[in-house]
Chains A and B, each alone.
Chain A
Amino acid sequence: MKKRIAALTVALSLSMFGVAAVCAQPSATAAAPQAAASATAAVSQAAAPAAAAATQTAVPAAGVAAKAATAPAKGGGAPAKITPNRGITIGMFALIIAVTMGVVVWAAKKTQTAADFYTAGGGITGFQNGWAIAGDYMSAASFLGMSGLISLYGIDGFMYAVGPMFSFIAILLVIAEPCRNAGKYTLGDILSFRSSPKVVRGVAALSTVTVSIFYLIAQMVGAGKLMQMLLNIPYRVSVIGVGALMVAYVVFGGMKATTWVQIIKASLLMGATTILCLLVAIKAGFNPVGFFTDVVSNSAIQEHVRMNVLKDVIAKPGVDYGQRFLEPGLFLKNPLDQISLGLAWALGAAGLPHILMRFFTVPSAKDARKSIIVALFLNSSFFFMISVIGFGAALYLTPQAISAVDKGGNMATLLLAQHMGGGPGSLGGDIFLAFICAVAFATILAVVSGLVLAASAAIAHDVYVNIIKDGKADQQLQVKVARITSLFVGTSAIVMGLMAEKENVVALVALAFAVAASGNFPVIMFSLFWRKFNTAGIVSGLVVGTVSALALVMVSPVMTYPKKVAADAKKVVETLEKKQAGGAVLAEKELQALEKSRAEYVKNKDGKSMVGLDAPIFPLKNPGIVSVPLGFLAAFFGCLLFRERRAEEMFDEIDVRQNTGIGIAKAADH
Chain B
Amino acid sequence: MSEKQQWEAIANHSKFIELKRRKRNFLFSWWIISTIYYLLLPVISGYFPEAFRVKVIGPINFGYLFILSQFVMAIGVAIYYAHVANKTFDRLTKQLLEALQ
> Are A165 and B74 in contact (CB-based, < 8 A)?
yes
> Are B82 and A155 in contact (CB-based, < 8 A)?
no
- In the complex, what's the smallest C-beta–C-beta distance from A639 to chain B, in angstroms? 20
Q: Beyond A335-B46, A656-B16, is A169–B34 a contact (Cβ under 8 Å)? A: yes
> Are B46 and A336 in contact (CB-based, < 8 A)?
yes
Q: Mark A311-341, 1 if CB is under 8 A from B, else 0.
A: 0000000000011001111001011101101
In-complex Cβ contact of B64 among A174, A326, A366, A372 (8 A)? A326
The residue on A at minimum CB distance from B57 is A289
A370 CA to B23 CA, complexed, in Å: 17
18 new A-B pairs (CB below 8 Å) besides A168-B78, A380-B71, A652-B4? Answer: A162-B38, A166-B38, A168-B74, A169-B35, A169-B38, A173-B77, A289-B57, A289-B60, A326-B59, A328-B52, A332-B46, A334-B46, A346-B35, A366-B90, A369-B81, A383-B71, A652-B7, A662-B97
> Are B11 and A656 in contact (CB-based, < 8 A)?
yes
> Are A342 and B45 in contact (CB-based, < 8 A)?
no
Query: For residue A384, which residues in chain B have a CB less than 8 angstroms away from its CB?
Result: 68, 71
- In the complex, what's the smallest C-beta–C-beta distance from B78 to chain A, in angstroms? 5
A650 CA to B5 CA, complexed, in Å: 10
Across the A-B interface, give the 8 residue pairs with the lowest CB-CB distance, nearest first: A335-B46, A338-B42, A652-B11, A328-B45, A653-B7, A289-B58, A296-B59, A652-B7
Query: For residue B90, which residues in chain A have a CB less than 8 angstroms away from its CB?
Result: 366
A159 CA to B69 CA, complexed, in Å: 12
The residue on B at minimum CB distance from A339 is B42
Q: Beyond A165-B71, A660-B16, A660-B97, is A342–B59 a contact (Cβ under 8 Å)? A: no
> Are A342 and B20 in contact (CB-based, < 8 A)?
no
Query: For residue B68, which residues in chain A have a CB less than 8 angstroms away from its CB?
Result: 384
> Are B11 and A655 in contact (CB-based, < 8 A)?
yes
* Of listed B7, B79, B81, B82, residue having the most chain A CB within 10 A: B7
> Are A159 and B45 in contact (CB-based, < 8 A)?
yes
Q: Does B1 interact with chain A (Cβ within 8 Å)? A: no
Q: Does A15 interact with chain B (Cβ within 8 Å)? A: no
Within residues 35 to 93 of chain B, which ones have a CB less than 8 A from any CB in chain A?
35, 38-39, 41-43, 45-47, 49, 52-53, 55, 57-61, 63-64, 67-68, 70-71, 74-75, 77-79, 81-82, 85, 90, 93
Q: Is the interface of B mostly helix, strand, loop or mixed?
A: helix
A455 CA to B75 CA, complexed, in Å: 31
| Size of interface on B: residues with Cβ below 8 Å to A | 50
Query: For residue A165, which residues in chain B have a CB less than 8 angstroms away from its CB?
Result: 70-71, 74
A-B CB contacts (within 8 Å), total count? 155
Query: For residue B93, which residues in chain A have a CB less than 8 angstroms away from its CB?
Result: 659-661
> Are B16 and A326 in contact (CB-based, < 8 A)?
no
> Are A380 and B38 in contact (CB-based, < 8 A)?
no
Q: Does A292 interact with chain B (Cβ within 8 Å)? A: yes
Query: For residue B11, which residues in chain A have a CB less than 8 angstroms away from its CB?
Result: 652, 655-656
* Of listed A173, A655, A661, residue having the most chain B CB within 10 A: A173
> Are B70 and A293 in contact (CB-based, < 8 A)?
no
Query: For residue A169, which residues in chain B have a CB less than 8 angstroms away from its CB?
Result: 31, 34-35, 38, 74, 77-78
Q: Beyond A162-B41, A165-B71, A332-B45, is A295–B59 a contact (Cβ under 8 Å)? A: yes
In-complex Cβ contact of A288 among B7, B60, B61, B82 (8 A)? B60
> Are A652 and B19 in contact (CB-based, < 8 A)?
no
Q: Beyond A162-B41, A662-B97, is A655–B75 a contact (Cβ under 8 Å)? A: no
Query: For residue A155, which residues in chain B have a CB less than 8 angstroms away from its CB?
Result: 63-64, 67
Q: Mark B1-33, 1 if CB is under 8 A from A, else 0.
A: 000100110110000100110010001101100
The residue on B at minimum CB distance from A297 is B59
> Are B31 and A170 in contact (CB-based, < 8 A)?
yes
In-complex Cβ contact of B42 among A323, A335, A653 (8 A)? A335
- In the complex, what's the smallest C-beta–C-beta distance from B64 to chain A, in angstroms? 6
Query: For residue B20, which residues in chain A have a CB less than 8 angstroms away from its CB?
Result: 655, 659
A384 CA to B64 CA, complexed, in Å: 11
- In the complex, what's the smallest C-beta–C-beta distance from A412 to chain B, in angstroms? 19
> Are B67 and A159 in contact (CB-based, < 8 A)?
yes
Query: For residue B19, which residues in chain A have a CB less than 8 angstroms away from its CB?
Result: 659-660
Q: Does A158 interact with chain B (Cβ within 8 Å)? A: yes
> Are B58 and A328 in contact (CB-based, < 8 A)?
no
- In the complex, what's the smallest C-beta–C-beta distance from B36 to chain A, in angstroms? 10
Query: For residue B61, which residues in chain A have a CB less than 8 angstroms away from its CB?
Result: 323, 326-327
